[in-house]
Copies of this chain bind each other. A is one copy, B any other.
Amino acid sequence: MFTTHAAAVAVRPSTGRLRPLGLDEVRITGGFWAGRQRTNAGVTLPHIAHWLEREGWIGNFDLAAAGRLPEGRRGREFSDSEIYKFLEAAAWELGRRPDAALEARFREFVARVAAAQWPDGYLSTAFGRPGQPERWSDLAWGHELYCLGHLFQAAVARERTAPGADDGLIGIARRAADLVCEVFGEDGIQSVCGHAEVEVGLAELSRVTGEQRYLHQARLFIDRRGRHVLPEPEWGRSYFQDDLGIREATVQRGHVVRANYLAAGAVDVAVETGDSGLLATLRGVWDRTIARRTHLTGGQGSHFQDEAFGEDWELPPDRAYSETCASIASIMFSWRLLLATGGGGYADLIERTLFNVVATAVSHDGDRFFYTNTLHRRVPGEMPDPESASPRAFSSLRAPWFEVSCCPPNIARTLASLAGLLTTVDDDGLQLHQFATCSIATSLADGTPVALDVETAYPETGTVTVRVREAATRPWTLSLRVPAWAGGATLRHLTAAGELRTTTVSGPVAQLTAAFEAGDVVELDLPMAATFLRADPRVDALRGCVAVQRGPLVFCAERPAGAGDELDRLVVDTGVEPSYSDGRVVVSARWLQRADSAWPYQTGGSVATVAGEPFALIPYVDWGHSGLCTMRVWLPEG
């Protein structure tokens, strides 16, 4: 347990096992993620702002203020939320690094939003005016509360990174939240939003403002779900998570983004209300979802139709929906459980998801995006039009924008606030959950000051070096996560006095308790061999296949568009171990010899292959950067 700390943290529970550190306490200073953050700030945020203007989504607020809605309104019913997610991303980015142009843009957008708010706090460009549907008239599909949830998260980010800023955003959020409590309170409309999000927004807004009724309203929304308060859609009530009460569920189901936002909000409510039963239920839900409904990349979702989880073991690589936003929502859920409980595989999943979905979904250049993240692309598809919003999931190349463009600003807010996911503290010490070159200056939960520099070429190498810059003399514990994929690690402690101690670690955490001194160096060495992985045999779609992982990175086979059906014929000889060099994993390839039968189902069983040249796999995070292509993560074993 710890006392609340006034840092710029992405999530700030008032209680829990671990205290998160703020962007003012941890800075990513180099390596993989520093590059991603630079691109996010320099390219992605301006790109998003450009498209928000171009598509008229921010312009909708101007039209609202000018009384010119609904005629000119553009975009889907949830387009307001993209402005709020942009504001949240900008707030984190400004907390990370001052930027006058971004600050100006932030204030300009806030002012345009403010002008569209009704005196009673209501805020939506899609509802409530003459010619528009009435307020709250379509809770199932209207996304009004969903949008407000993102507004609240933006205001929370701003308040934490620039407390007392005079831009007015926190006031906009409070007025809207007050209205929500009034309209949907104990005696109000007994329903919920079809797309969860307001719950987590209200809980965090409660934390930042101290308003208990926001938390109470979040709990009401959480508890109402599962009582069939929404109309049943064609594919069942699970779509809205309205099939089962939050306390009755045993696994995530339905629309994945909705499910994970809801679960994140439910953890917040459980933590803030001391509801240990609910917290235990949510941990069980997480466990089974990871054991049975999550792709190798950490991505989730197997249905295109309803953007939903499949059933247990239904994890088709070629129809992996794995929406980018779903993974971001999954990180929100995992991170909250990590803070609340201190362990349990949450940081492993966050790492897997960050590298193999979040970092993969945005191009290296920062201005192209995947909405879905398939594990197998059979046909190259078409080049997305650089000048227009794309469909979501039909090319091997990333697109500049989507008609439903939730993913780009979601990536931006995640990358801008990423430093907050690296490390935590408690009374006993400091925990390093994610490995990035960074600078840490904080105090343990009891006030002991600690300053560290972390240096690593991760995930290219598995060596993580922690240099102690400042530490009180009392002993404390430095904990470094040992990912489950590593199976173990070596920990070295070279004291400032020149003494070297080496230990072998087998569990999920490498711990070192010492009265660290400035100049002490702690080095974690993770084994980084490329290995073949096989799926639980109940995952039907992956039977007889292997995937290759090295460190946290999943690898894949990619062939340019002109290569025809080569990836349909590739078979991996797993008798030869994969070998890594220079960013590639080389496997022993065989090629299927197969002409079409008139009918593809026959009594014979033998599969003829011929040996080929060694085949080089690339990191999945790098796929789709060399033109239209085919790609697969899971490769038949032969």
Contact = CB atoms under 8 A, between A and B. Distances in A.
B304 A601 contact: no
Most interface-central of A312, A317, A549 (chain B CB within 10 A): A312
Given A313-B568, A394-B236, A534 B604 contact: yes
**Category for how many chain A residues contact B:** 35 or more
B392 A234 contact: yes
A292 interface: yes
A602 B316 contact: no
A296 interface: yes
A452 interface: no
Contacts of A592: 537-538
A540 B345 contact: no
Nearest to A592: B537
A533 B234 contact: no
B603 A543 contact: no
A605 interface: yes
B234 A600 contact: no
B537 A607 contact: yes
A596 B291 contact: yes
Given A314-B318, A536-B600, A600-B292, A636 B543 contact: yes
B547 A544 contact: no
Nearest to A392: B234
Given A304-B304, A304-B305, A534 B296 contact: no
Contacts of A547: 601
Contacts of A318: 310-311, 314, 316, 540-541
A484 interface: yes
A603 B304 contact: no
A574 B296 CA distance: 30
Interface in A593-610: 594, 596-605, 607
A550 interface: no
A319 interface: yes
A533 B598 contact: no
A126 B311 CA distance: 38
Contacts of A345: 598-599
A545 interface: yes
A585 to B, nearest CB: 14
B304 A535 contact: no
Contacts of A481: none
A539 interface: yes
B378 A601 contact: no
A316 B319 contact: yes
B536 A597 contact: yes
Nearest to A543: B544
Interface string A298-317: 00000111000011111011
A475 interface: no
A313 B533 contact: no
Interface string A447-475: 00000000000000000000000000000
A73 to B, nearest CB: 20
A303 to B, nearest CB: 7
A554 to B, nearest CB: 9
A607 to B, nearest CB: 5
Contacts of A312: 378, 565, 568
A102 B305 CA distance: 40
Interface in A270-292: 287-288, 290-292
A384 to B, nearest CB: 12
A207 interface: no
Interface in A304-353: 304-305, 310-314, 316-319, 345, 348
Contacts of A413: none
Contact of A598 (B484, B544, B605): B484
Given A345-B598, A543-B543, A544-B544, A605 B314 contact: no
A219 interface: no
Interface string A564-602: 010011000010000000000000000010101111111
B311 A379 contact: yes
Contacts of A314: 318-319, 378
A404 to B, nearest CB: 9
A376 interface: yes
Contacts of A234: 391-392, 403
A317 to B, nearest CB: 8
Interface in A364-407: 376, 378-379, 391-392, 394, 403
Given A533-B602, A534-B601, A596-B292, A540 B391 contact: no
Nearest to A377: B311
A523 B377 CA distance: 50
A594 B316 contact: no
A291 B600 contact: yes
Most interface-central of A318, A536, A544, A568 (chain B CB within 10 A): A536
20 contacts: A234-B392, A235-B394, A290-B599, A294-B600, A296-B601, A303-B304, A303-B319, A313-B378, A316-B318, A531-B603, A533-B602, A534-B601, A536-B600, A536-B601, A537-B594, A537-B636, A538-B568, A540-B541, A543-B543, A547-B601
Given A291-B600, A536-B600, A540-B636, 18 more contacts: A234-B403, A236-B394, A290-B599, A303-B319, A310-B318, A317-B540, A318-B541, A345-B598, A534-B601, A536-B594, A536-B602, A537-B592, A537-B594, A537-B636, A538-B569, A540-B545, A543-B543, A549-B601
